[in-house]
Amino acid sequence: MARWNEVVLGFVKCGLLFGIMFAVLGIFFLNCIGPWLNSPNYKPPHLSFIGDPSTSMGIAFETPEACNATVYYGLSETDLNMSQTDNQLRTLHFFNLTNLLPNMTYYYLINASERNYAFMNVVETFRTAPPFGSKDPIHFAVLGDTRPDIFGMTKHKELLDLIKPRKPDFILNVGDIVLGPTYTHQWDRFFYEIGDIAKNIPYMVSMGNHEHHEAGGEADAGRTYLKYMHFPGVEEYYAFNYSNACFISMNIQSEESITAEQLDWLNKTLTNANNSVEINWIIVYFHTPPYCTTESHPVIVERVVEPYLVPFKVDLVLAGHHHHYERLEIDGISYVISGGGGAELDLFVTPTEWTSSIANTYQFCDILINGTVLNLYCVDYNNLIIDQLTLTAWRNV
């Protein structure tokens, strides 16, 4: 009798064990596959700055089948009295709307004569920047390393859902948005995740090492990134002026990425910004940080920081690459690592002697500039402010 009891108990234990295993595997499977199943096989409209943000706006999207497309736009929702048409049959579409008025809300609608995808024939809005040199407030959000982890999971969309109600003027992503440049489904997923916010707010990106090459795998030198992204100039690195600030995005994600051409461009861009009476703020953002708890001083960024960022009195440097939040103050420059954007968090973080604040959590930065004062708030996954920085511009006249 006792033996039968042991056999039944054994079956019950095995059943419980298998039940728990199946439940865990089921949750894991849904977490991995769910977001991909939800990703459409097109890229919804996403805005970016191409030229002067006060007078132009870039709109890009991808359709499942090749088609022509028209963007109708105007200052009234009921009178879209301007248009741009591309009669070429293509899947990747890009429009640069120019000759816009500063500081205005524009309405736009995308139409294709032979197709009608979900994002078409819907009136959307965007807002042009204040005139260059004005002291109008600037509000932007920063996040980085939003790529999926090796199990296909990321908190990117949840963080964007926290950013959206704050109504920033634009978003900066400091890189690593996919696990590898040739992972087609992850590009689809990235544009699906940003679709709800980037149809109304420009979403600017700096190239990360994962957009340039896969970990231990194939390098496509950022070709896929450059195919989907539309930024000013050579696009691999670029700059734009917004109100009284100059934003400079560099391509810093490997030793080879810091070319002589890029450094020459950086020198000219910093010189022009520093000499401009309209510009109070110089904000530089790129992927691999110069200073960090886990990698205190990578050689590649010494070539940028010491001869350029310090002498030109850059106000703020934003980076990612390491999956946590960290703020450091060195030689009068504030360095912020905002790498808790969705990928797996770092295992351990220990402050360096220069670290002012550190948090190993999912987060983004919410930054407001008002004249010559900047306030940076680090916001965590629970929408709580976990760090704050107030800066006065070096160029404060």
Residues that bind Fe ion (CB under 5 A): 176, 208-209, 321
Query: In angstroms, what is the minimal distance from the CB of 357 to Fe ion?
Result: 21
Rounded to whole angstroms, the Cα distance separating 220 from 236 reads 13
Structural contact between residues 177 and 211, judged by C-beta atoms closer than 8 angstroms: yes
Q: Which is nearer to Fe ion, 46 or 321 (CB)?
A: 321
d(Cα 229, Cα 60) in Å, to the nearest integer? 8
Q: What is the smallest separation between the CB atom of 249 and Fe ion, expressed in angstroms? A: 15
174 φ, ψ (degrees, to nearest 5)? -85, 20
Only one residue has tokens 């948090």, namely 359
Nearer to Fe ion, 321 or 327 (CB): 321
How near is the Cβ of 23 to Fe ion at its closest, in Å?
34
Contact criterion met (CB below 8 Å) for 301 and 155: no
Residue nearest to Fe ion (CB): 321
Query: 52 or 176, CB closer to Fe ion?
Result: 176
DSSP codes, 224-251: HHHHH---STTSSSEEEEETTEEEEE--
The nearest distance, CB 295 to Fe ion, in angstroms, is 11
Say which residue the tokens 């769910």 belong to: 34
Determine the Cα–Cα distance for residues 356 and 334; give it in Å rounded to an integer: 10
CB 321 to Fe ion: min, Å: 4
C-beta of 127 vs 321, nearer to Fe ion: 321
130/180 with CB nearer Fe ion = 180
User: Cβ of residue 97: shortest distance to Fe ion, in angstroms?
Assistant: 33
Which residue, 209 or 334, has its beta carbon nearer to Fe ion? 209
State the minimum distance, in angstroms, from the CB of residue 144 to Fe ion.
8
3-state secondary structure (DSSP) of residue 58: strand
Alpha-carbon distance values, 206 to 97, 175, 257, 319, 383 (Å): 22, 5, 12, 9, 25
- Of 176 and 188, the one with the shorter C-beta distance to Fe ion is 176
- Compute and round to an integer the Cα radius of gyration of the chain: 23
